[in-house]
Structure formats: structure tokens, C-alpha cells
Amino acid sequence: MQFRTPRVSRPVAASSARKKTPLRQLLLPPILLVLVVVAWTVATSVAWTIVSSIAHADDAAVAAVSIDNFTFGPSPLTVKAGTTVTWTNRDDIPHSIVDKDRKLFRSKVLDTGESFSFTFSNPGSYDYFCSLHPHMTGHIVVEP
């Protein structure tokens, strides 16, 4: 009877076992990230431009104010007399809208997605704030 010596494979050095990653695979994720960030920035800019153009249109009878991240936007907002301004809460916490000087309007507390509207009949300058977060302020100029 003859015994054979078992074969033992030698470990392969780590450097020779690793395949080289092509430069294209290394650069693709950062490039895609940059493209996504640029696309998001452009989309956001276009959206605010549209909202702003609606708010500043000469013959606009309706204007929009968005409540988001503890701010009213756009502010200041310039509209013509007779324009109805609608505030929409896009924040994830409740807010309200109160006329600072004249007490002309006061919304109920608005949850996320809820809106409040007021028609500005008279020219003038109107300051408003959130009664729940008084540091949140906005300004509307109503032109004749």
C-alpha cells in the first residue's frame, strides 16, 4: 500500500487575485450623483420661477404663497388690487396666517397640504405672520 501526500494549494497573494477596476466604473457613480444634483437644482429653480411669475403677473387675479421650512415664499409678493392670495402649508408642521396691522384676515391652523385664501381689495402694504411661530413673517404689496 502506498500513501500519497495530499496536495496543499498555496494561498494566492491578494494583489494578484484582485482584478483592476476600470476607470469608467470608478467615475460613473460620482458623475451620476452630480447629474442628479444638477437636475434637482434646475427643476427647483424652474418651479420657483413659475410661482414667482404667477405672483407678479400684471393681470393675475390669483397668487400663491408657499409655507415651507418655516418661511413664507415668495416674500415680498406684489399683486394688483382684487387679487386672491392663497397660502398653502407645505411644511410638515402646522402654521397659520394673521394680518399683522389691520387684523383683516386670520386663518385657522393649517395642517400639511391645507390652504387659506384672502382677496386683497385695497391697495397698500400688508405684513403678516404665523401666530404659532411669530418669527415667520411675510409681506404683500397691493398695487392699484
pLDDT at 61 (0 to 100): 82
| Structure confidence by residue, pLDDT tens digits, 86-140 | 999 999 999 999 999 868 999 999 999 999 999 999 999 999 999 999 999 999 9
Residues near 30 by beta carbon (within 8 Å), at least 6 away in sequence? none
- The domains of the chain are located at 25-143
Neighbours of 27 (CB within 10 A): 10
- Paired residues of 101 in beta bridges: none
pLDDT at 27 (0 to 100): 73
Choosing among 3.40.50.720, 3.40.50.1000, 3.40.710.10, 2.60.40.420, the CATH entry for 25-143 is 2.60.40.420
pLDDT class of 49 with cuts at 50, 70, 90 = low
53: its cell numbers: 411669475
DSSP letter, residue 100: S
Q: Which amino acid is at 35?
A: L
